[in-house]
Amino acid sequence: MALSRRRYLFASAAMLLTLGVNGCSYAASETTKAINKEGKTIVYVVGTIHSGHLDSTDYSLAILERAIRKANPDQIIAEIPPDRLAEAWRGFRKNGVVSEPRVRIFPEYRDVIFPLSKSMKFEIVPAAGWTQQLSDYRDKALNRISKDPARAAQWRAHQTAQAAYSRAVGARDDDPLYIHTAQYDALVKAAQNPYETYFEEDLGQGGWKTINAAHIRLINKALDRISGQEKTVWITFGSWHKYMILKDLVTRKDVILADSRSLFQ
């Protein structure tokens, strides 16, 4: 690890108590239970990097597993479509392997969360608004837009924003201490702004704003069911969805949003 990266990690780890995001205070894990006097739900919103976990040393599957063990959640609200969870469980219980295609593509579920369910007592709650039909429709629409000369300027704006994100984040794109910061979320929001502005109507229910609203409805439904029970919940979605989820959850009065960075320090 480069010296500058070491200094960055050391500086991040030094922030022990709170992290302000969008005006909300996030309690570190070691203090969360102590300040929870009203039976609120303790929530960690954790951004994952999907297949990137397989190659990363800073955010490997082993590091993700340790973070889950540290959080010790009662529930994991996952980026899994509700209609796919039963099939994923069926294959896993039969032969110990997650074979359901929409779940299997995510190593954080296939290789960490489902196997951990054997030794931990959390419940997996599906909360992804995606369907295969929505995904296919979105991909076809984007392919059509990218080849339309009349929309070349819009597509260029989208590509420029994505490139600006890559330059700004650089080698920190797999650093969990950086991923779980307001700075990272701001960069993702800026990267997705042209995508949301120009393509939302074309993508229908698979549009960026629309699909995140679908995820958030399912997340809130899951949180409503356990409100007031003083549970600990780990919400896990791809890291680019995180800012949308946090923006909504700060409005809930029955949750404490814990600092997810504390799980990786």
Structure tokens at 199: 């393509």
Residue 122 pLDDT: 97
| 3-class SS string, the chain | CCHHHHHHHHHHHCCCCEEEECCEEEECHHHHHHHCCCCCEEEEEEEECHHHHHCCCCCCHHHHHHHHHHHCCCEEEECCCHHHHHHHHHHHHHHCCCCCHHHHCCHHHHHHHHHHCCCCCCEEEECCCCCHHHHHHHHHHHHHHHCCHHHHHHHHHHHHHHHHHHHHHHHHHHCHHHHCCHHHHHHHHHHHHHHHHHHHHHHHHHCHHHHHHHHHHHHHHHHHHCCCCCCEEEEEEEHHHHHHHHHHHCCCCCEEEECHHHHCC
Task: Say whether pLDDT at 21 is over 50.
Answer: no
Total tally of structural domains belonging to the chain: 1
Residue 102 pLDDT: 92
pTM recorded for the entire structure = 0.85
Q: How many Cα atoms sit within 13 Å of 211 on the Cβ side?
A: 29
Percent residues over pLDDT 70 in the chain = 86
Task: Say whether pLDDT at 2 is over 60.
Answer: no
The residues near 146 (Cβ < 8 Å, ≥ 6 apart) are: 155
- pLDDT band per the 50, 70, 90 thresholds, residue 38: confident
Q: Determine, yes or no, domain membership for 1.
A: no
**Mean of pLDDT values over 109-135:** 95
Q: Determine, yes or no, domain membership for 25.
A: no
Residue 34 pLDDT: 58
- Quick: pLDDT tens for 162-202: 999 999 999 999 999 999 999 999 999 999 999 999 999 99
Q: Determine, yes or no, domain membership for 18.
A: no
Under 8 Å between Cβ of 22 and 251: no
Residue 98 pLDDT: 96
Residue 100 pLDDT: 95
Q: Which residues pair with 257 in a beta bridge?
A: 43
Residue 9 pLDDT: 35
Q: Which domain holds residue 114?
A: 39-254
**Mean of pLDDT values over 136-148:** 96
Residue 5 pLDDT: 38
